[in-house]
Amino acid sequence: EIVLTQSPATLSLSPGERATLSCRASQSVSYLAWYQVKPGQAPRLLIYDASIRATGIPARFSGSGSGTDFTLTISSLEPEDFAVYYCQQRSSWPPFTFGPGTEVDIK
């Protein structure tokens, strides 16, 4: 099973600041996604194949990386971006695995 780790666990930032979230895989993966989860809402797919924005996702969200190291960047935080972010791999399954999440909260 591929294990994903995310860092930091919590990121405290102010609106307008840049957020950089990391996801590391226990072995090389070719396919990685990022999701945003807010309480009481359906999770939202942000990025797939490491760097492709899903339909309707604002350009301030970008993904990069390959192999075992991946990054989600939010260029300038909007109030609605404060949430928990998860990475997910689909290279080796079952199971599909998620990282433990990074919470982006308001400083």
Partner 1 sequence: EVQLVESGGGLVQSGGSLRLSCEVSGFTFENYWMTWVRQAPGKGLEWVANINEPGTEKYYADFLNGRFTISRDNAKTSLYLQMNSLRVEDTALYYCAKHRKDGYNRWESYFDWWGQGTLVTVSS
> Which spans of this chain sit near partner 1 (rule: CB under 8 A)?
31, 33, 35, 37, 40-45, 48, 54-55, 86, 88, 90, 93-101
In Å, the largest CA–CA distance within the chain is: 39
Write down the least CB distance from residue 16 to partner 1, Å: 28
Q: Which residue in this structure is represented by tokens 């996801």?
A: 23
Checking phi first, is residue 56 left (phi over 0); if not, alpha (psi -120 to 50) or beta?
Answer: left
Distance separating alpha carbons of residues 54 and 32, to the nearest angstrom: 13
β-strand 10-13 against 32-37: which pairing, if any? unpaired
Nearer to partner 1, 13 or 45 (CB): 45
Write down the least CB distance from residue 5 to partner 1, Å: 11
Nearer to partner 1, 35 or 61 (CB): 35
Nearer to partner 1, 9 or 59 (CB): 9
Write down the least CB distance from residue 8 to partner 1, Å: 15
